[in-house]
Amino acid sequence: MTGRPGFGMRPAENGSPAPDPAAGEPLAPLPPDARVDLARERSDAQADEVLDALDADLVGLAPVKTRIREIAALLLVDRVRARFGIDSGRPNLHMCFTGSPGTGKTTVAVRLAELLHRLGYVRKGHLVSVTRDDLVGQYVGHTAPKTKEVLKRAMGGVLFIDEAYYLYRAENERDYGQEAIEILLQVMENQRDDLVVVLAGYKDRMDSFFASNPGMSSRIAHHIDFPDYEPDELEAIGRLMMRDEGYTLAPETEPVFRAYLDRRRARPRFANARSVRNAIERARLRHASRLVAESGEVDRAALTTLLPDDFLASRVFS
């Protein structure tokens, strides 16, 4: 997994640990008149840690977080139903994440994979992220083995297909991408028990992909849209990233950072939170160079405080 804070397994509590359905241990069946404490079930599944980390680590994205919580509730209730012998049938959890670059799609998919694992939906909970080139070969006969190899790696987790619409080329009906789509469709239908497929990309292109591929569209149960971040959200994301990396803004840097974000947002190839991360990386470089150039003594404050010049040297101000 990612090794991010908030993702460690909770240490075992006193007494015998709860059965781990994700590890294939069956949950004990219940008599018809049993009563189940759902809060207890939730804490046994350790799903709240992932949900709480999602809330704490990611700014905004309220509709995304709500949908993920709904899915978690469904899987939890299904687990309890199963213990009463009520067969719900496995819900379809193939999804489509639409949004501009840097809106958090990959980050949410990683956490989703972990959550599905903890709730016993998939065996391993890893994420395999691919694009067209990982699935589609250049020559006849190369595509099926490539796609099957990727599917094999992804089994037990989440297969994340970035810019999935490149699999389909409307202008070329003999494109090998079609072969990959056919294989994916089969596995999405028949091996739903151990694999979740997430298609990601821009909303408009995904819509036309689905229009030309109704089979794919009908197998996607959840369409989740990741909106562009508002200026206040970008600022909050920046603060979160700096806090995680042990930096703060000097009071006089605050308006400069905000002005930086406003200008960057208006420029080409703006990529939401990813651009914020890149801006902070560059500010760190300038900060370090500045300290080394000054070559005097440094204290803790100097090592952690970003000054206006660390941002003002950026091209967006020229």
Instruction: List residues binding ligand ATP (CB under 6 A).
Output: 58-61, 99, 101-107, 162, 237, 240, 271, 273-274, 277
Residue 272 CB, shortest distance to Mg ion, in Å, is 11
Query: In angstroms, what is the C-alpha Rg of the chain?
Result: 23
DSSP letter at 122?
Answer: S
Q: Which is nearer to ligand ATP, 114 or 162 (CB)?
A: 162
Residue 267 CB, shortest distance to Mg ion, in Å, is 20
The two tokens of residue 98 are 């639409």
Burial zone of 104 (CB within 10 Å; 0-12 exposed, 13-18 middle, 19+ buried): buried
Q: Which is nearer to ligand ATP, 104 or 177 (CB)?
A: 104
Q: Which is nearer to ligand ATP, 105 or 117 (CB)?
A: 105
CA–CA distance, 157 with 135 (Å, rounded to integer): 17
Q: At 196, is the secondary structure helix, strand, or coil?
A: strand
Q: Which is nearer to Mg ion, 153 or 258 (CB)?
A: 153
Residue 169 CB, shortest distance to ligand ATP, in Å, is 21
DSSP letter at 299?
Answer: -
Overall size of the chain counted in residues = 318
CA–CA distance, 109 with 112 (Å, rounded to integer): 5
Q: Which is nearer to Mg ion, 41 or 233 (CB)?
A: 233
CA–CA distance, 143 with 135 (Å, rounded to integer): 6
Residue 249 CB: number of other CB atoms within 10 A? Answer: 21
Residue 313 interaction partner, one of ligand ATP, Mg ion, none, beta carbon < 5-8 Å per kind: none
- Tokens 């089994």 map to which residue? 155
Residue 68 CB, shortest distance to ligand ATP, in Å, is 13
Residue 73 interaction partner, one of ligand ATP, Mg ion, none, beta carbon < 5-8 Å per kind: none
- Identify whether the C-beta of residue 198 lies closer than 8 Å to the C-beta of residue 94: yes
Q: Give CA torsion, residues 52, 57, 63, 68, to 10 deg.
A: -50
Residue 45 interaction partner, one of ligand ATP, Mg ion, none, beta carbon < 5-8 Å per kind: none
Residue 238 interaction partner, one of Mg ion, ligand ATP, none, beta carbon < 5-8 Å per kind: none
Residue 103 interaction partner, one of Mg ion, ligand ATP, none, beta carbon < 5-8 Å per kind: ligand ATP
Strand partners, 197: 159
Residue 160 CB, shortest distance to ligand ATP, in Å, is 9
Residue 35 CB, shortest distance to ligand ATP, in Å, is 39
Residue 64 CB, shortest distance to ligand ATP, in Å, is 9
Q: Which chain residues interact with Mg ion by CB under 5 A?
A: 106
Residue 273 interaction partner, one of Mg ion, ligand ATP, none, beta carbon < 5-8 Å per kind: ligand ATP
Q: Which is nearer to ligand ATP, 102 or 125 (CB)?
A: 102
Task: Please list the helix, strand and coil fractions of the chain in percent, rounded to the nearest 5, in that order.
Answer: 55, 10, 35
